[in-house]
Structure 1
Amino acid sequence: MPTVALDTTNLLTAIPGLLGFLPEQSLVVLAFDEDSSIAVTARHDLLLDADGEPTADMWETMASIGLVCERDGALGAVGVVVDNRYGLPSPVYRRVLADLDDALIAAGVPGGVRAGFVVERFAAGMPWYTALWAMAGRGPTGADPDVPGSLGLADGGFGCGLLADPQSSPVALERSLRTGRVVMASRSEMYACLATTEHCVDGACGGRPRRIRPTTTAAGRTKLLRAALKLLTGPAVPEMTCANVVLLSRAVRNLGVRDALLVLGGGEHRWVAESVWRDLTRRTRGEVRASAATMLAHLYYLGGEGAYTGVALDVALQACPDWRLAGLLDTALTGGVHPSMLWEVLGESYSVAAGLGVTLPSASSRLWS
């Protein structure tokens, strides 16, 4: 996160840049470590019953957030409710934030929710309101010296104010420079980027895609991996002709070739790979669409882009509910597994490629910094 004067308005305005989209009807949690750096960023749908009480699923979600925050060494958190159903000062939102506080404390996060805010929606000039404030510390002795009370907020996190423009916050601008993407208006806009379209650009299939032949021999897998790498490591994004769509479809359907190609999500060819996996997801159906979307999700996960990862995994599991790699990544994402774990297992991709006599490009997390 870029260095900014961290008052409450700046922090709240930065949230869409951290997430990649403008959240709606959401509970957002920013958990901080001992240096007042963000250790955990989480967003979940705000699930309330007819009486405005958190549903059972919402309770489970808050408990899970607490466990992730405790595991990652968070000392306290800021909770943000984004909702327009009850009005900013509603006790409904204070109860939600108090329940989140209980969940964090129960999980072992010593500071719980240090400050809780309510925003109706993210837009320049929209008001924010403090619904929960825990500056006084916990227990009969007063403030805990090991838990930063304001979590680095220059204004202490108490009061109300107006949001700046989330699209032009320092975090949003940094994200745009780093990833080439602007903050999306909503998650639905992110799903729209993966909506289905024609099979190819040249129409050679006549609207009826060819059946994908399995590749069963080692020599065939080697040839397929080399052909896919030639497309994915060139100087420009390859055109999605019918022949290229078929070749890439065969590649992502073959377990060994697919595992080797996962490396491209973390190297200098990451931008071409992202474009290709996104386009292949849109142009295919069934298991090929599931595998292509999973490749895209893995790429996003490596880069720490949780919102994009979640959307790609939803698309993969909708296309094929039992697609194994998508299920594993979804479980990891839901459990708050850090992207570093995925970097650690990329060595398996190099082993697979070496077994096929193919040398892969290098991958380095430094390319993401």
Structure 2
Amino acid sequence: MTTHEPDYRFTRPGALIAALPAVLGFVPVRSLVLVSLEHGEMGAVMRVDLSRAVDGDLSHLADLASASGADRAVAVIVDAEGAQCPMCNQDYRDLCDALTTALSTHDMELYAGHVVDRIEAGGRWHCVDGCGAFGTVEDPMASPLAAAAVLEGRRLYPRREDLQAVVDLADAERSAALVPVIDEYAEAREARWRADPDDCGRRDVEAVMAVSARVCEGAELDDAELAGLACALTDVAVRDTLYALAVGADAGRAETLWALLARTLPEPWRAEALVLLAFSAYARGDGPLAGLSLDAALRSDPEHRMAGMLDTALQSGMRPEQIRELAGTGYRLAKRLGVRLPPRRSFGRRAV
């Protein structure tokens, strides 16, 4: 997972550590977090489970850090038990030595390494290399990045598992029961599509926008409605038009619907909802949700072209403003179909 926030410069470890939940979308525990620095500013941020970092190859982490164009990085090791164990510090030194070696292959420097027991106000951190530096973590909710995230509609989760639940299938039995309903609906839709593809596509896009508004008002969708939405997402013209909703005034409504469909639809229809959710999250700067959505989509369909392209972009640190340019295709398709989409909204600079 990578994220970017070029508008914030951190000179205090306690402030940098406090900013991590806002960047990652959740409070990391038992983790190695690598923060790349671009000209002294926070660049790409990556997290791996601490157990994997200790036992695994760190070259991929170094590859991701270097892709952002940074020349140095800071390692933050989050370990509640180990932070209180003086003997454990040698393990942290070994980990940072391995990370230094991996980064050096990309001409990057490990600028500093910190160990912290917990990322909350009053958490304790100290340096890994025995320099004697130590201190307390500032309040994560008072971080400038936390304020920016809240203003832009991002939710901060207490655990990674809570964020994961946004994209996980909620009810496998109901999902499986939808398969015959979708198949039956698909037959009827095929006949309408053959008669007039543009009219069929226009009706589907308008239906999606109407349903997204209802869902945001608390409406529950029946099986027939879910089947109709599933089939609409498999129409290339409809799906590519819907990507434009991510940059429109009603982007929040659309994203709520994509998340609902990702938790409800069976495969292979679920993959399309996951990719739409990923694109929407990426466009507004929510790299953590985009990354989890893409992971799930690629597990479902490893050959999905849009999922693969977005995953490559996210891993390489491509910024949201570049991704949002893809929505232009959706507006052009909407014009061809005769659909009026919500107007584009303005975006400030935000994290990925």
User: Alpha-carbon deviation of 1:357?
Assistant: 2.7
Query: How many residue pairs were aligned?
Result: 331
Question: How far apart are residue 365 of structure 1 and its match?
Answer: 5.0
Question: Is the 2:22–2:145 Cα contact (8 Å) retained in structure 1?
Answer: yes
Q: Structure 1 residue 115 and structure 2 residue 89: aligned?
A: no
Alignment correspondent of 1:44: 48
Matches within 5 A, 1:57-136: 59-70=58-69, 74-84=70-80, 86-87=82-83, 89=86, 90-109=89-108, 112-132=109-129
Question: Which amino acid in structure 2 is aligned with residue 239 of structure 1?
Answer: A
- 2:156 equivalent to 1:176: no
- Kept after mapping to 1: 8 A contact 2:35/2:44: yes
Residues 109-143 of structure 1, C-alpha deviations (whole Å, 9 max, x = no match): 4xx1221111233233332111148xxxxxxxxxx
Deviation at 1:209, TM superposition (A): 4.1
Q: Which has the higher contact order (CA 8 A, sep 6+)?
A: 2
**Shift, 1:30, TM fit:** 1.9
Deviation of residue 86 (structure 1)? 4.3
Residue 17 of structure 1 corresponds to which residue in structure 2?
22
TM-score by length of 1: 0.77
User: Are 1:30 and 2:30 an aligned pair?
Assistant: no
Q: What is aligned with 1:55?
A: 56
Give the 3 Å change call, closer, same or farther, for CA 252–7 of structure 1 in structure 2. Answer: same
Counterpart position of 2:200: 220
Q: 1:196 aligns with which of 155, 169, 177?
A: 169
Q: Aligned equivalents of 1:197 and 1:117: distance in 2?
A: 38
For 2:82 and 2:171, the matched residues in 1 are separated by 43
Corresponding residue of 2:259: 278
Task: Report if the CA contact (8 A) 1:237-1:272 is conserved.
Answer: no
**1:331 corresponds to:** 312
Structure 2, unaligned stretches of length 5 or more? none
- What amino acid maps onto 2:97 in structure 1? A
Kindly report the root-mean-square deviation, in angstroms, between the aligned alpha carbons of the 2 structures.
Answer: 3.3
Question: Residue 196 of structure 1 aligns to a residue in which SS?
Answer: coil
Alignment check: 8 A CA contact 1:303 1:368 kept: no
Whole-angstrom CA distance in 2 between matches of 1:367 and 1:227: 30
Aligned residues of 1:238 and 1:276 also touching (Cα < 8 A): no
- Alpha carbons 1:266, 1:367 under 8 Å: kept: no
SS in 2 for 1:366: coil
Under a length normalisation based on structure 2, what TM-score does the superposition of the two structures give? 0.81
Q: Percent identity?
A: 28
| Structure 1 residue 253 displacement after superposition | 1.9
Q: Specify every segment of 5 or more residues in structure 1 that has no aligned partner in the other structure, as ranges.
A: 134-156
Amino acid of the structure 2 residue aligned with 1:224? D
Q: 2:61 and 2:201 mapped to 1: Cα distance? A: 45
Question: Which residue number in structure 2 is paired with residue 230 of structure 1?
Answer: 210
Instruction: Measure, in 2, the Cα distance between the counterparts of 1:310 and 1:13.
Output: 22
1:235-246 alignment, distance < 5 Å: 236-237=216-217, 239-242=219-222, 243-246=224-227
1:68 shift after superposition: 1.4
Higher helix share: 2
